[in-house]
Chain A
Amino acid sequence: QQPVQSPQAVILREGEDAVINCSSSKALYSVHWYRQKHGEAPVFLMILLKGGEQKGHEKISASFNEKKQQSSLYLTASQLSYSGTYFCGTRGNAGNNRKLIWGLGTSLAVNP
């Protein structure tokens, strides 16, 4: 039930691109992406709802393929500030408790 994130870790040079995937074995209603910098709390990036919608946040965008039950986070022209751990959280239905099931995270390091 826990979504699987891949890869587990990525090392980039500034300006390079990366893709982080989040896959579920169950049907998804929504996928939520958060970034957590070392020693800090997770911070919301974006939400993708059922319907294959693609959203963007600065140079970070994401897609949601409900048929494959997968979401991908695209980081374009990475900056040093993108370093951190990226988590996806998933919801299987539009229930009213807003609970998320979280992946284990993808560690991203952007070097100069």
Chain B
Amino acid sequence: NAGVTQTPKFRVLKTGQSMTLLCAQDMNHEYMYWYRQDPGMGLRLIHYSVGEGTTAKGEVPDGYNVSRLKKQNFLLGLESAAPSQTSVYFCASANLQGTHEQFFGPGTRLTVL
């Protein structure tokens, strides 16, 4: 099992460009999350999903959109990138049952110039 994978691993954008980050999990988890991590700020929740076809806003949703068309995939979109969105983005998933452990992907390092 690959667990949680993220694509791409690194990306550099210019201000105003758009992009989509892909998160995929092969554990059949119901819950999926997108976080951003900035130095000294810990993990901040951007958007999350409690199941296929559902999404909800987290703490810092502005400037981002998400979609969960398939249970195994959770996409994070930046419509018009800004330097303030320079960050490391982590995707995580969790099961409906069990320990509620969140499994994290390896992260995507995004730089917006």
Taking Cβ atoms with an 8 Å cutoff, the residues of A that contact B are: 2, 30, 32, 34, 40-44, 47, 87, 89, 96-100, 102-105
Contact = CB atoms under 8 A, between A and B. Distances in A.
Contact of A42 (B43, B50, B100): B43
Contact of A47 (B45, B56, B101): B101
Given A42-B90, A98-B102, A99-B45, 17 more contacts: A2-B42, A30-B100, A34-B102, A40-B107, A41-B90, A44-B101, A44-B103, A87-B42, A87-B43, A98-B31, A98-B50, A98-B94, A98-B100, A99-B58, A102-B43, A102-B44, A105-B42
Given A42-B43, A47-B99, A102-B43, A97 B31 contact: yes
Contacts, number: 53
13 contacts: A2-B42, A32-B101, A32-B102, A41-B104, A41-B107, A42-B102, A44-B101, A47-B101, A89-B43, A97-B56, A98-B100, A103-B42, A105-B42
Interface in B70-108: 90, 94, 99-107
Nearest to B90: A41
Contacts of A96: 50
Contacts of B105: 41
B100 A47 contact: yes
Contacts of B56: 97
